[in-house]
Amino acid sequence: MNTLLRIFKDGDLRKKIVFVLGFLVVFRVAAAIPIPGIDAQRLEAFFAGNQFFGLLNVFSGGALDNLSVVMLGVGPYITASIIMQLLTMIFPALKALYHEEGEAGRKRFSQYSRLLTVPLAMLQAYGLLTLLTRQGVLDPLPFFATFTNVLIVTAGSVFLMWIGELISQYGIGNGVSLIIFAGIVSSIPNTLRQAIFTFDSSQIPLFLGFLVSAVLIVAAVVFITEGERPIPVSYAKRIRGMRMYGGVSTYLPLKVNQAGVIPIIFALSILLFPQMIINFIAGSPNVFVQKFAGFTLSLLNNAWLYGFMYFILVFLFTYFYTAVTFDPEAIASNLQKSGGFIPGMRPGRPTGGFLSYVINRITLVGGMFLGIVAVLPLIMQGVTGAAFLTIGGTALLIVVSVALETMKQIKAQLTMREYE
């Protein structure tokens, strides 16, 4: 309560929080405005039986389940950012732009991500609307009307990207993450309503067990998300002119969950996208294609096999994405240029080898953790037998990460005010 009072007594911090809340309200209003020609009953049935679109709905901030004008959410922007990061492995110029040219280089890199967002949003909008039309969720429209809807949906995605950047610049926290967070949290009242309407006195032990498990799971996710391995770094003393610089000791924090939520997204895409394609070809008149599609779907619908493949893919993608985003050689080179060194390690390549050794071992824990969190909803649903009594997966990681990051920024702002 004391912290809340300090937040609202500070005029500047209060304005930032109101600014964020105001734009989140704008986002939720836009998420309630549907595009024309929707069959609501078919739409609800379609999303109930399709995990792939359930994932897309999470990253659209809950704006896809009623086909709103911002149905794509910030998904195209996230996709563009991931593509740009992967391209740094292929093009050395992009890698140098992002890692070596400082703040100006990162701004140009972000601008390229924004420009890539527009064609990606148009492509995703057209593909999604065409797919939903073939599934009978949308009424068939002439080309001009379809093109108009594509432009509207693309504009909605760019609008949310703009809102996210405004929040990041003038508010508190990461704007894109807060938009996704708001969409996930907005589904909680509906989940509570389902729990209340289906409540039975014989299920009291089940509900209590679920609440205790949920608290323990969230605590474990917070613990691992905040976990890090500090690497001590010392800086040699240097004399320039009449002044002496360096001679201080600090540490380099290596997070246990270095990859964040990205491996789960990659793994779900690998598992669910082929499943969606096979569902389409199952209607083929060719008998062999029908049998192949039926056999493949029966394998993918096996809960044990699906959970095992999901866990393995998340584990492997954790190592892959950590290798993409964390470059030990570049960090060792930057330390050497700035006069820093790890005690007991020679600067340069030996330091890079040591950092690679450490990150590979803590990523083992991070990969196991992400794999367990990913399959947790399947385990919880199997134990409770209720679809709404589940916790874990992408949504939990996003909510915990965004909440922790926002709290840190608010505390930093309060600390800065105290120093002033």
CATH fold of 202-389 reads Preprotein translocase SecY subunit (1.10.3370)
Q: What are the tens digits of pLDDT across the range 278-321?
A: 766 666 677 777 777 777 767 766 667 777 888 888 888 888 88
Q: Is the CB of residue 213 less than 8 Å from the CB of residue 315?
A: no
How much is the pLDDT for 182? 84
How much is the pLDDT for 178? 86
- 17 compared with 283, residue with greater pLDDT: 17
Residue 169 pLDDT exceeds 60: yes
Place of tokens 């809960």: 303
Whether 202-389 and 1-186 are alike in CATH topology: the answer is yes
- 321 compared with 102, residue with greater pLDDT: 321
> In this structure, is the dihedral angle defined by the CA atoms of residues 351, 356, 361 and 366, taken in order, positive or negative?
positive
- What average pLDDT does the segment 180-193 reach? 78
How much is the pLDDT for 247? 63
Residue 228 pLDDT exceeds 70: yes
- What is the three-class DSSP state of 301? coil
Q: What angle do CA 93, 121, 169 make, to 5 degrees?
A: 65
- What average pLDDT does the segment 164-180 reach? 85
Q: What are the tens digits of pLDDT across the range 253-285?
A: 888 888 777 787 777 767 766 666 776 666 667
Q: How many CB atoms lie within 10 A of CB 383?
A: 14
Residue 61 pLDDT exceeds 60: no
CA–CA distances in Å: residue 64 to residues 107, 190, 300, 397: 30, 16, 25, 20
Q: Which residues contact 136 (CB under 8 A, 6 or more apart)?
A: 39, 42
How much is the pLDDT for 301? 66
Cα distance between residue 215 and residue 209, in whole Å: 10
Residue 238 host element (H or E):
strand 238-240
Q: What are the tens digits of pLDDT across the range 115-161?
A: 999 998 898 888 878 877 776 777 777 888 888 888 988 998 899 89
Residue 245 host element (H or E):
strand 243-245
Nearest to 57 by CA among 217, 226, 180, 188: 180
Judge if pTM exceeds 0.95. Answer: no
Where are the domains positioned within the chain?
1-186, 202-389
How much is the pLDDT for 159? 92
- 25 compared with 180, residue with greater pLDDT: 25
Max avg pLDDT among 18-27, 243-252, 386-395? 18-27
Cα distance between residue 79 and residue 175, in whole Å: 16
- 249 compared with 272, residue with greater pLDDT: 249
CATH fold of 1-186 reads Preprotein translocase SecY subunit (1.10.3370)
Nearest to 81 by CA among 159, 169, 27, 161: 161
Q: Is the CB of residue 374 less than 8 Å from the CB of residue 392?
A: yes
